[in-house]
Structure 1
């Protein structure tokens, strides 16, 4: 049986799902230009394209952090008793 921290695992899976959902949405709504645009419209299009790219980067980071959280959850486990036990050394006389 693999020791897994369930809260971290579920949090990582949720972050991955949200990140990929945002990426799919952002890639389906890419701003598109057309022929004969004025200079102002071209600048507005460039700004919207940059915003879309930046949001896509943030969504990819969210999915990446979720994946790392998922991986960490397999190595993390709760300790029984809360704090680590202290060892006492005997003094030799």
Structure 2
């Protein structure tokens, strides 16, 4: 399983892409990642995906499962689907995560 989070916007308009691959994690962290993904809603919400807040962020979260399937969701800051905050925190805090910045 691989989880990719793209966060765009903010004051500087930066794009930060962080990817966490379960293959790079120990068994306990892999189980935590799987549990967090299972607790998330990946249904698209109606409404804008662009940040509603000035200098806010927009997010795109994609999960590539071991069986080759993929699920994802896009949302604006303040409109995260159920369970997504915990997953975002895990991905942001994971030392094994690969990070790329851009504009």
Please report the TM-score for the alignment, with normalisation by the length of structure 1.
Answer: 0.27
- RCO (CA 8 Å, sep 6+): is it higher in 1 or 2? 1
Asked which structure has the greater CA Rg, the reply is 1
Please report the TM-score for the alignment, with normalisation by the length of structure 2.
Answer: 0.25
Which structure: greater strand fraction?
Answer: 2
